Amino acid sequence: MITQQADPVLLFYPLTKQENGDLKPGIPVPLYLSEEATGLCVESETDSLNISTDFIPVLNEQGTEAGTVKVQQRGETQNVSITLIGNKNSIGLNIILPMLKSIFSKVFAGLDYKIAYFHQNVLIFNARLASYQMTPGSNDTKVSLTLNLEIVPENSDKKEPQSVVGKSWDEVLKEAA
């Protein structure tokens, strides 16, 4: 039985534009979220996926409904929320806050970046920072930092649906009830 757990890792990496216009990952900057190493620990984390579903009636040659429907699903977003706690003087907090501020300046400059986070069952790669919030605790030393990361598929409106399953209207209505 495995008793030792790996520490959570937050990985920041800039993307650089090549001469042909492609983006290439830059040098990653890992931040290990262990209380012993950085003074930060994960208090809570959530991971959610948003999928949209469209029901499209199938038409026959006469242009009337054929009695079946195509079900198309698309992955819309993946969202991960991480709440960290630590001492305001911790090395981890003094590293992560300037990194978050540098992301803000990258966005204004039109530069690209990616973030990855992995800890046990919560995994997200190629994410962007959706928001963060820092909240000082009631005493003057404890700080809570909440990061919201998300993946929005690029050009999702231009891609064809990945999965199509034919169902009758009766089956769709039964499932919706």
The average pLDDT across 23-50 equals 89
For the whole model, what pTM was predicted? 0.72
**pLDDT winner (highest mean) among 47-51, 80-84, 89-93, 165-169:** 80-84
For the cut 90, the answer to whether the pLDDT of residue 6 exceeds it is no
Q: Where are the domains of the chain?
A: 9-51+76-160
Render pLDDT for 138-174 as a digit per residue (tens, 0 to 9).
777 889 999 999 997 765 444 444 333 555 556 655 6
For the cut 70, the answer to whether the pLDDT of residue 93 exceeds it is yes
Q: Are 82 and 42 in contact (CB under 8 A)?
A: yes
Can you give the pLDDT at residue 156? Answer: 47
The average pLDDT across 101-110 equals 85
Mean pLDDT of the chain: 82
For the cut 80, the answer to whether the pLDDT of residue 49 exceeds it is yes
